[in-house]
A and B are shown apart, each in its own frame.
Chain A
């Protein structure tokens, strides 16, 4: 599988990554090489093999639905790029 510049730009958009125009070619080349490596997987027949997501195939632990965290909003917002009145600020979304 080899990726061209248009596909790289599409993936970069999906991943919300700004990529310099001049670097798109390099990314296309490197990503294609990685996909070529990955395609070695096709040499193996995996019909009826159960996918393994996790080392122990454990189910998620559950806990009682109780409040365990204390409110530390001010502490956590100390290093936020932009906050006001306890809110994170972003550029205007709704006109």
Chain B
């Protein structure tokens, strides 16, 4: 049962092959059996899941089921879930029981999905390997020595190990796409504003966006349809009609113009990854698409730009964690200053503290123009590069990450080296564009991701283009031996 896609599970539930309760029970068993070695869950919500599954079965018996009713899933532990611990991977929120549901949680509950638990993640989504989590690193199902990527590493690992058929993630600089690539699954970061950020714990508000992490593009399309839409509680959520993202999956890609940015194939790209990506691009040529050489001349500055903008926004967003209203408070504070400083100093891990300090520094008197304004100017140049490219091409493709999964501990002592694992994904967030990663084979037993970047609100096309690839290839069906 656990090898089925969401589309297959949906059909099975519809035909009465199994009930949601049976399905949920089976997944919970599997999680119990395999979840610990991967360290992929922070909280497992078994009792609530079985209750939700029963309700889903009841709705179905009344003829009120939709395509996702009764299908199990997991949320990244960044989404507030009412009555359930919501830690964001941090000691700061280890004791936090969310008093309300995030908009994404509300929408997927409404669609009838059954939450099995909350997945492990880099602390406050700051990391590319899951090693910054207060709860310890998640393991990659393809090799327990390897990182799953980050920050949505738990959400990628659970889908790759088939402990859950689909999960949610968030992506600020690559946090859906990079772990999807490293674990060999399909992940989509929607256009900024497509999905409500309400109740999604904020890291960098002008970049954060939630999306699906799935086995196939078809599954991602099903969940994106249910997740998306206007929400007045998020002031940057865009009021725009949500299409049925499954409607155009089978459109032909004949004549599709695929832009290949030369900057994505330069120095620093692993040769094996480059070969796998090139082979995937040839597959598209066989399907009738046309490859067009393009240039994104400022994309090389996306990492430096990001490491001003994201920390600046994070230093502001994370000022709410002060030991007063919720979350961690230090023992025996002598005065208010001591309460703030020690609650924050003890509650946050080193990477979060580094980013808060970089942000505080970049925003401080005398440095604001040199760092923050400068970064926002380059952000515009990066965004304009994409605008020009999309005048000539329909989608842009390249590698998702410069290498396959690295080993746990390999980069954790060197923040700057770690930051460069997001070199191909960050520009997409700065521009606010939708991006995807789909599996494109294995190099020495570890998965490679093919990145696809679309124009604003062109998720339907991205999903269609990814689906056609998955109809023609079997890379997305690869599962690590131990989790088959």
Please measure, in the bound complex, the distance between the C-alpha atom of A77 and the C-alpha atom of B456, giving whole angstroms.
41
At the interface, yes or no: A50 with Cβ under 8 Å from chain B?
yes
Contact A49 B377 (CB under 8 A): yes
At the interface, yes or no: A51 with Cβ under 8 Å from chain B?
yes
Q: A44 to chain B: which residues have CB within 8 Å?
A: 298, 301, 378, 381
Contact B326 A80 (CB under 8 A): yes
Q: A23 to chain B: which residues have CB within 8 Å?
A: 350
| Neighbour of A18 across the interface among B305, B346, B415, CB < 8 A | B346
At the interface, yes or no: B325 with Cβ under 8 Å from chain A?
yes
Contact B193 A79 (CB under 8 A): no
Please measure, in the bound complex, the distance between the C-alpha atom of A3 and the C-alpha atom of B354, giving whole angstroms.
13
Contact B415 A34 (CB under 8 A): yes
Contact A90 B206 (CB under 8 A): no
Q: B381 to chain A: which residues have CB within 8 Å?
A: 44, 46, 49
Binds A, one of B65-73, B150-158, B367-375: B367-375
Given A41-B308, A46-B374, A55-B192; A78-B324 close (CB under 8 Å): no
At the interface, yes or no: B334 with Cβ under 8 Å from chain A?
yes
Please measure, in the bound complex, the distance between the C-alpha atom of A81 and the C-alpha atom of B381, giving whole angstroms.
46
How many chain A residues sit at the interface, stated as a range, is 35 or more
**Chain A residue, CB-CB nearest to B315:** A15
Please measure, in the bound complex, the distance between the C-alpha atom of A23 and the C-alpha atom of B351, giving whole angstroms.
13
Given A34-B416, A44-B378, A55-B432; A78-B353 close (CB under 8 Å): no
At the interface, yes or no: B431 with Cβ under 8 Å from chain A?
yes
Contact mask for chain A residues 7-37; partner B; CB cutoff 8 A; 1 contact, 0 none? 0100111111111100100010011011111
Contact A37 B99 (CB under 8 A): no
CB distance from B119 to the nearest CB of A (A): 22
Contact A31 B326 (CB under 8 A): no
Contact A11 B357 (CB under 8 A): yes
Contact A17 B357 (CB under 8 A): yes
Q: A56 to chain B: which residues have CB within 8 Å?
A: 192-193, 238, 432
Q: A19 to chain B: which residues have CB within 8 Å?
A: 345, 353
Please measure, in the bound complex, the distance between the C-alpha atom of A43 and the C-alpha atom of B305, giving whole angstroms.
12
CB distance from B369 to the nearest CB of A (A): 10
Contact B338 A33 (CB under 8 A): no
**Chain A residue, CB-CB nearest to B358:** A34
Please measure, in the bound complex, the distance between the C-alpha atom of A19 and the C-alpha atom of B352, giving whole angstroms.
12
Given A37-B419, A46-B378; A81-B323 close (CB under 8 Å): yes
At the interface, yes or no: A67 with Cβ under 8 Å from chain B?
no
Given A34-B415, A78-B99; A54-B236 close (CB under 8 Å): yes
Q: A8 to chain B: which residues have CB within 8 Å?
A: 357
Q: B191 to chain A: which residues have CB within 8 Å?
A: 55
**Chain B residue, CB-CB nearest to A46:** B377
Given A15-B357, A35-B358, A78-B99; A91-B307 close (CB under 8 Å): no
Q: A91 to chain B: which residues have CB within 8 Å?
A: 333-336, 338-339
CB distance from A87 to the nearest CB of B (A): 11
Q: B364 to chain A: which residues have CB within 8 Å?
A: 11, 14
Given A30-B354, A78-B99; A18-B341 close (CB under 8 Å): yes
| Neighbour of B301 across the interface among A17, A41, A52, A90, CB < 8 A | A41
Contact mask for chain A residues 44-64; partner B; CB cutoff 8 A; 1 contact, 0 none? 101001111111101011010
At the interface, yes or no: A72 with Cβ under 8 Å from chain B?
yes
Q: B264 to chain A: which residues have CB within 8 Å?
A: none
Contact A49 B380 (CB under 8 A): yes
6 A-B contacts (beta carbon < 8 Å): A16-B340, A33-B415, A40-B301, A52-B377, A54-B236, A91-B339
